[in-house]
């Protein structure tokens, strides 16, 4: 009887061991299959493209970038994300991202694919954090939270880029009238357009408009015509006033009009447009402030006459 029980126990342990072995072998096989499948599709590293802005900056003597794509520890992940972003069939969105990157000053000279890879990287970080929070505080694995964290991480990176681009465009718009005045003054003193722009850029090289003008100078030094370099600047900055200035400069060149006079007129026109825009905002502010004023007035009336109103409603008011 004891021999039969021992044999039964041995058979049971053997069966359990076989089942465990099969589970482990299945898990390893699935992992190897997924790994081989991923390596077969994304086995090659992503292709690092050099944007025209980066090429011009390097030609102008700027130091090359140092990003996550150059970090050995993160390269396996970011290159996989870069290949994934490169194979996404969304050309219209990539064109829009490229324009926004250029308007934002080409941060680290990212290409649209590189920016999307970084956005997905932040999405993965947010997904991992939310999954850890779910396991630690909710006691279980969640599917919704990592997906939501992934989307929120991508949306946060995109929102930050658009905010940076909008802020940079506003800074350029504020600086343009004064810069045009200084260029016109320098040209009136006998300097050429390139010499005047180079002098203005040297006064405040870190300002976004100075950076754009410096890019124009770098393109001219590389052999691009002044007309083409100015048109490239108007393409980089989606601002109507800058496009009109570039168009006026090109027209002045074709007609032989003194460029200093044209720049002075454009600066005066920008100031006039700013004054008109300020007047419109001031006129609309008086209408917008009407509702808060009425609410404040109503709250003051209620605070002063609250006791009388309550007694009148309850019938305790004595005349």
What is the per-residue DSSP string for 179-237? HHHHHHHHHHTT--HHHHHHHHHHH-TTSHHHHHHHHHHHHHHTT--HHHHHHHHHHHS
Range of the domain at 134: 42-167
- 129 and 223 assigned to the same domain: no
Per-residue pLDDT tens digits for 166-186: 998 888 888 888 888 888 888
Alpha-helical regions (H) of the chain: 2-42, 52-59, 75-86, 91-103, 112-137, 144-188, 193-203, 208-221, 226-236, 240-255, 259-288, 290-314
Q: Verify that 131 and 163 share a domain, yes or no.
A: yes
Question: Distance between CA 91 and CA 101 in Å, rounded?
Answer: 15
Distance separating the N- and C-terminal Cα atoms of the chain:
107
Residues 220-240: tens digit of each pLDDT: 888 888 888 888 888 888 888
Of the pLDDT bands very low, low, confident and very high (cuts 50, 70, 90), residue 112 is confident
* pLDDT of 319 over the 60 cut: no
This prediction's pTM: 0.67
Q: Do 54 and 127 fall within a single domain?
A: yes
Placement of tokens 């300020």 in the chain: 278
d(CA 131, CA 125): 10
Claim to verify: residue 120 and residue 106 sit in the same structural domain: yes
Verify that 97 and 186 share a domain, yes or no: no
**120 part of a folded domain:** yes
For residue 283, count other CB atoms closer than 10 A to its CB: 9
91 and 188 in a single domain? The answer is no
Q: What is the rounded CA–CA span in Å between residue 53 and residue 222?
A: 13
Tokens of 184: 């016109």
- Say how many domains are in the chain: 3
pLDDT at residue 5 above 60?
no
């Amino acid at each position: 009887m004891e021999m039969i029980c021992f044999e039964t126990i041995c058979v049971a342990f053997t069966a359990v061991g076989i089942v465990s072995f099969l589970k482990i072998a299945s898990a390893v096989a699935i992992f190897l299959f997924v790994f081989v499948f991923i390596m077969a599709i994304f086995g090659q590293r992503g292709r690092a493209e050099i944007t025209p802005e980066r090429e011009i900056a390097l030609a102008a003597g700027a130091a090359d970038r140092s990003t996550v794509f150059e970090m050995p520890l993160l390269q396996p992940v970011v290159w996989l994300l870069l290949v994934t972003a490169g194979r996404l069939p969304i050309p219209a969105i990539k064109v829009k991202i490229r324009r926004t990157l250029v308007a934002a000053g080409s941060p680290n000279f990212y290409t649209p694919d590189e920016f999307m890879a970084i956005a997905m990287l932040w999405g993965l970080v947010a997904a991992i954090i939310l999954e850890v929070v779910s396991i630690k505080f909710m006691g279980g694995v969640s599917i919704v939270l990592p997906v939501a964290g992934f989307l929120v991480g991508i949306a946060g990176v995109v929102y930050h880029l658009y905010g940076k681009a909008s802020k940079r465009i506003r800074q350029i718009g504020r600086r343009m009238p004064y810069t045009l005045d200084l260029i016109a003054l320098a040209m009136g003193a006998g300097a050429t357009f390139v010499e005047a722009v180079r002098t203005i850029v040297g006064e405040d090289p870190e300002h976004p408009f100075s950076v754009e003008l410096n890019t124009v100078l770098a393109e001219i030094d590389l052999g691009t015509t002044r007309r083409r370099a100015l048109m490239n600047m108007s393409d980089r900055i989606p601002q109507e006033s800058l496009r009109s200035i570039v168009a006026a400069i090109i027209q002045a060149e074709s007609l032989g009009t003194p460029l200093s006079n044209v720049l002075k007129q454009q600066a005066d026109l920008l100031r006039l447009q700013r004054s008109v825009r300020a007047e419109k905002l001031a006129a609309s502010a008086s209408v917008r402030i009407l509702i808060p004023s009425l609410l404040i007035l109503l709250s003051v009336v209620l605070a002063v006459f609250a006791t009388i109103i309550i007694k009148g409603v309850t019938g305790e008011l004595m005349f």
